[in-house]
Structure 1
Amino acid sequence: MQNAPLILLAAGGTGGHLFPAEALGVELMKRGMRVRLATDARALRYSGLFTRELIDVVPSETVRGRNPLALAHTAVKLAAGTAVALDLMRRLKPKAVAGFGGYPTLPPLLAARLFRIPSVIHDSNAVLGRANRLLSGGVSAIATSLPGVLDRDAALAGKTTTTGTPMRPAIVAAAATPFVAPEPAGPLRVLVVGGSQGARVMSDVVPGAIERLEPALWRRLKLVQQVRDEDMARVRAVYDRLKLDAELAPFFSDLPARLAASHLVISRSGAGTVAELGAVGRPSILVPLPGSIDQDQFANAGVLAEAGGAIRIAQGDFTPDRLAAEISTLAAEPARLTTMAAAARTVGKLDAAERLADLVMKVAGI
């Protein structure tokens, strides 16, 4: 392997960026390639394909506002990161660089351009992210998870390929579990998650919604909910009072398996979550994160909602009464849950890692 071509992957240090990078890395290694990951220090928390000896930490900073001091700080950090990335390109001599979004991808992709190394960016969202937008004009190819992302941009559409989002092996395994609708009086398995950091709104709204359900539905519910440490006591108190079968934790390491076991998922609509719901094929109620400049989560949720696989609720409308009504309706219509699961599956692409690997190797001339 020492003499095998090297593909350098670049990704922000969150699961939404790292998991697709890892999935591509696995596929490239199957094809005899070597891979390394350029990212920020946050990625060192994640276990998986990228052990510490395969990670190159590159300084970076996210643009957080228009304050001149903050912008100057960001510029200095990105300049330092670019200097580190230039040294990486000189030493590693990768055949291509593939970026997965987030500001930590800027230095490696800019350095690749200066060294005339072929490059690809992948974006999982229904709207191109800001870092990828900055890079898009100078890369060799663009891969998107969803169709139509750049259809209106003639300058970029010609070098854009829809590949889907590469899925980590645990999601591919979960996708092999068929959806089985709940029996009319049988258990109803509901999974509530809020993204990599959790979401306070789920702790604020879901317990109140469960409280408003008919007591007969309480006895059917098998609830798994991601709850931040600071919200745990108040959420648990509600479910204990209702004598609910509920498992609560700040993080679930086996989330793909829990996703496959669910009849209904209530979640934010980050790109990774939407892609995984499509790959596994599970009905969902999606609450986009408000306030985003790009409104990417609203657009992501819209893809599943328009396909018929999800119900999209803006956070302002996400109240205990509304959520209780939606859960009650779906619990009474198991056939609708089956239809939603099948519709969600039409959005997923389980061969996305292979498609993206094909594109990267073509750009690299391998």
Structure 2
Amino acid sequence: MSERVHDAGATAGNGDGDDQSPLEALEAARERFERAERRIDEHGGEAVADAAEAYREATGLLEDYVDRATGTGRENFKAYVELEGKFDSLVSSLPDDLKGRDAFEDALDAIDKRRLSEDDFERANEALDPARQYADMLDEREAAREAIDDARTGAAKRLRELDDEIPERERLLELATADLEAPVEDLRDPIEAYNELIVAAVEEYRLEASAREVFALLERSRWYPFVDYEQPPEDLAAYVDENEAGEYTLPELLEYADYSRSKLEHYVDSADELKRRVATQQTFLDGIDGEPLTIPWPPAEAGVLRRRTREYRPFVERVAGADAVAQLRSIRRLTTDPAFEYDRLQTAAQAVTQLTADERERLADGQVADELEALRAERARLEDALDVDDPV
């Protein structure tokens, strides 16, 4: 399993290509910074900074005056005098031992004329080239520092990806231990029987209960994470709670929403309000069914299924008959009955349902185990690399 990724920090190093892994990019960025630091140290950090500052000030002057001080006009000559004065003052103030000092003298000579052209400015900039290396050293160190920041971001992103990839490989290895010959129908049959009962029961409940009662049930489901009913829009909920129309069943409200206003006035106080509140929410109202109270296949681990059935029970008691409640209890008992071997059947059901042909092949030849080992090793190396304190 390769730890290379093409979109996470691949270019944060020294530009060696897009095939770097995040770890390689971080190591390359640190090496780049160390090289930049060594080069500066070889010349003396303070001396490099002084020379770089002088170079930037000198080139800044040339850039400021290149347009104003070229030509034969009076204003051009005035600008030239200003430039020469400032440049001469700059050069005169430089220490004799400044690195690249001769370059500043040569640049001053290049503009020591009564009239300047753009070629003179180019010659002055060229004369400063020996001093430019010191500014370049500082620029390279700053670029290397930014490359480290980018590489750390890429490494952190890769760690988050590993947090998803490693559990996925672990899940596959767990499913690899499944007994694919296990009688999963012993688990599937009672779950399917319960699901059929609760779907039918909720459909009947919709036909009999008032919209207000149904909405109260939906409101209660807010506090039960496994009972995943969508909540009604606030304006519709308020209408059902406060208006007499809330005493009608959901099918009746939907039927009335299709009536003409004149016909509807025989059933509700305000035909316009019912149409405004109900007709626009037909999709939501039609979608209230027993699905959120069904048990998914394949089921989750025993502990999760126990919590799910515990949360379902008060809702099943409210909307369904004794048969559905008894079926739900029997499913819960399966998770604690040692003779039933729930874990074995659940793992087998997960494997049969979830494993693709490719995953089974990779499990059979050991690829998944190798991938998991490589991913864990990559995570350990990245964590170690990110523990290193980098220059701020």
TM-score tier after normalising by the smaller chain length:
under 0.3
> Which one scores higher on RCO, CA 8 angstroms, separation ≥ 6?
2
Larger strand percent: 1
TM-score by length of 2: 0.18
TM-score by length of 1: 0.19
Larger helix percent: 2
